[in-house]
Amino acid sequence: MAKRLQVIVQDPEYRDIQRAARLRRMSIAEWVRQALVQARRREPAREVSSRLDVIRAAARMEFPTADIDRMNEEIEQGYGSGLRA
């Protein structure tokens, strides 16, 4: 469902937005929508601190591993076995 958003701007800022929209041959509303989409894309998905918490938690985990050459050999053997998941 669409929602209406009202934003109050000063006259000089409005004229700048109006000019930018006109240059792109679009309505002010469309220009603002696109500007908001671009601004949201630039925002990090999560706070830096929560990202670091996830990385620290993963670093505390202990997972089985092997020598990289041995792991690559096993992967190659799996490719050649003809088994499909």
| Global pTM exceeds 0.75 | no
Share of the chain above pLDDT 70, in %: 93
In a domain, 33, yes or no: yes
Whether 72 is in a domain gets the answer no
Residue 15 structural domain: 11-63
Residue 57 placed within a domain: yes
* Residue at 18 is within a domain: yes
Q: What is the pLDDT of residues 9-47, one digit of tens each?
A: 999 999 999 999 999 999 999 999 999 999 988 877 667
Q: What are the DSSP calls for 1-43, one per residue? A: ----------HHHHHHHHHHHHHTT--HHHHHHHHHHHHHHHS
CB 22 within 8 A of CB 7: no
Domain-embedded: residue 45: yes
Q: Supply the pLDDT for residue 29.
A: 96
Note whether residue 71 is domain-resident: no
